[in-house]
Every structure is written in structure tokens, then in C-alpha cells.
Amino acid sequence: MVHIIDDEEAIRDGLGWLLKTRGLDSRGWDDGAAFLDAGDAPLAGVTCLVLDVRMPRLSGLEVFDRLQARHGDAMPPVIFLTGHGDIPMAVEAVKKGAFDFFEKPLSNNRLVDRIIAALDRAEASLALRSTQAETDRRLASLSPREHEVMERVLGGKLNKVIADELGITMRTVEVHRASIFNKMGVRGAVELAQLLKR
């Protein structure tokens, strides 16, 4: 979903139509405050925001800052639309994390190409956050003893050394290792290390 936040109806309608011809869904907002008031619902899934810098009530930069404060790294990509005098502000926004900016009048097809690139980035970011959340869930399922064994396995220690350090039998270490690998969804220590490195 592409959210077009611009007080100019012609921009919202024209860009919405162009996005539709490229197979992309969009929704227009005539006001940044209205978009923010809608809460997190518009940001569900893979989204991109096309945000006008100058709007009444709340500027695009203010909307951007509030979204960044609310969502941090999970914020969707933002592409700013700027008038000639707004370029320094747009450059500053890109330094703060905006995806790109375009000067009005727009080069529509180039803008849509960048929107598609932004959506691709949003999709990859969402997948990464989902993977991280799943890894965190799996780590939380480990018992305290399994955490102790896992730390030593990741340190490259042999079962006999782990057993001696923890005061348990080698067979118990083997059982814990198997349980750790099963819960973490990996086949061995190398895969476990790669998973946790991500």
C-alpha cells in the first residue's frame, strides 16, 4: 500500500491513478494530522509513504519526525515531494532516514520506480523483523540450563568440557544440545551461530 499525503488533490489523484496502472494500491490523505490520527492501521504490512513537505496544520517534516519517534527502525520508507524552496529541508530529511525526495513538478514514472524500490526495501525489512521476532521467541523457549549449554557450544567447547564445567554428565549435555538445536530449528552449532549472528 502506498499512502499519498498531500494537500493537493490533483497530485493525490494523478499519482494514485499512475500507481494503479502499475498494479499498486494507494490511498490519498489531504492532511498529515489525519494520517497520524489513523494510528498504526495504515502502516500494517508493506507500505511506503509519499509525503508533501509543505502542508497546512502539520508539515511533512513534522509528520516524518512523529512517525520516526513512534516507529523507529520499523518505520516504512518515506519519499518526500518538495517545491523548489523546500529542497534543503528534503535533503535534511534524507539525512534523517527518508528514502528519497522529488521536486515538483514530478517525473511521475521515475517517482513510481522509486516507490517500487521503497516497497521492496519495506518488504525485506518486514521479513527481517519477522525472522528476528521468531528467533527471539525460540531463544525465550530455552531453559536456563539450555542457555548455559548453548553459550558453551557457541564457544566451541566439547561436550566433555561442558559437562565438567556444569557438573553434569556428558549424556545430559547431549540431551540439552539436541533440545537446543530442535527448539532453535537448526541442525548443528554452525547453523545456530549463523542464526544468532543475523
For 88-111, the pLDDT digits (tens) are 777 788 888 899 988 887 778 889
Q: How confident is the model at residue 172 (pLDDT cuts 50, 70, 90)?
A: very high
Q: Which helix (H) or strand (E) holds 4?
A: strand 2-5
pTM (predicted TM-score): 0.69
**Mean pLDDT of all residues in 162-177:** 94
3-class DSSP state of 52: strand
pLDDT of residue 111: 92
The alpha carbon of residue 58 and the mean position of all alpha carbons in its chain are separated, in whole angstroms, by 25
Q: What is the greatest pairwise CA distance in the chain? A: 74
pLDDT at 52: 92
Instruction: Kindly provide the residue ranges of all beta strands, DSSP E only, lying in 78-189, ordered along the sequence.
Output: 78-82, 100-103
26-29 β-sheet, strand order:
26-29, 2-5, 48-52, 78-82, 100-103
Residue 20: what pLDDT?
94
Q: Name, in order, each residue with C-beta under 8 angstroms of 7's C-beta and a sequence gap of 6 or more.
A: 30, 31, 52, 55, 56
- pLDDT band at 40, cuts 50/70/90? confident
pLDDT at 130: 81
What lies within 8 Å, CB to CB, of 176 at 6+ separation is: 145, 146, 149
Sign of CA dihedral 59, 62, 63, 64: positive
Q: For the chain, give the mean pLDDT.
A: 89
pLDDT, tens digit, 9 for 90 and up, residues 105-116: 777 888 999 999
- For residue 63, the model assigns a pLDDT of 92
- How far is it, in rounded angstroms, from Cα 187 to Cα 178? 9
In this prediction, residue 180 carries a pLDDT of 95
Give me the mean pLDDT over the 46-56 stretch.
90
